[in-house]
Structure 1
Amino acid sequence: MRRNKVETEQTIQNLIKIARHHFTTYGYEKASLENIVKEAGLTRGALYHHFSNKKGLFLAVFESIQEEVGDYVEAAAASSNDSWSQLINGCQAFLEGAIKSDNQRILLIEGPAVLGWNTFRQMDEKYSMNSLKEQLHSMKEQNIIKPISLEAMTHCLSGAMNEAVLWIANQYDQKQNIIEEAMVVIKHLLEGLRK
Structure 2
Amino acid sequence: MQEKTERRSNRERTEATRKALIAAARRLFVEKSYAETGTPEIVAAAGVTRGALYHHFTDKQALFRAVVEEEAAAVADEIDRAAPAVLFARDALIEGGAAFIEAMAAPGRTRLLLLDGPAVLGRAAMDEIDGRHAARTLRTGLAAAMGSGELPELPLDALTALLSAAFDRAALAVEAGGDAGDYRKTLEAMISGLVRRG
TM-score for both structures, normalised by structure 2:
0.87
Does 1:189 pair with 2:179? no
Deviations 1:124-162 (A, max 9, x none): 222111111111111222221112222222111111111
- State how far apart, in whole Å, the 1-side matches of 2:78 and 2:14 are: 26
Deviation at 1:168, TM superposition (A): 2.2
Deviation at 1:80, TM superposition (A): 6.3
SS in 2 for 1:131: helix
Does 1:99 pair with 2:100? no
> Structure 1: which 4+ aligned runs deviate by more than 6 Å?
none
Partner of 2:53: 47
Partner of 1:114: 120
- State how far apart, in whole Å, the 2-side matches of 1:121 and 1:33 are: 26
Does 1:89 pair with 2:90? no
SS in 2 for 1:139: helix
Aligned residue pair count? 190
Partner of 2:82: 76
Partner of 2:181: 180
Unaligned runs of 5+ in 2: 1-6
Unaligned runs of 5+ in 1: none
Partner of 1:4: 10
Deviation at 1:79, TM superposition (A): 9.2
Deviation at 1:63, TM superposition (A): 0.9
Could you tell which deviates more after superposition, 137-146 or 16-25? 137-146
Partner of 1:170: 176
TM-score for both structures, normalised by structure 1:
0.89
- State how far apart, in whole Å, the 1-side matches of 2:53 and 2:128 are: 25
- State how far apart, in whole Å, the 2-side matches of 1:109 and 1:76 are: 25
Please tell me whether the aligned partners of residues 114 and 168 of structure 2 are also in contact (alpha carbons under 8 angstroms).
no
Does 1:144 pair with 2:150? yes
The letter of the residue matching 2:105 is I
Partner of 1:20: 26
1:32-43 correspondence to structure 2 within 5 Å? 32-43=38-49
The letter of the residue matching 2:88 is D
Deviation at 1:102, TM superposition (A): 3.0
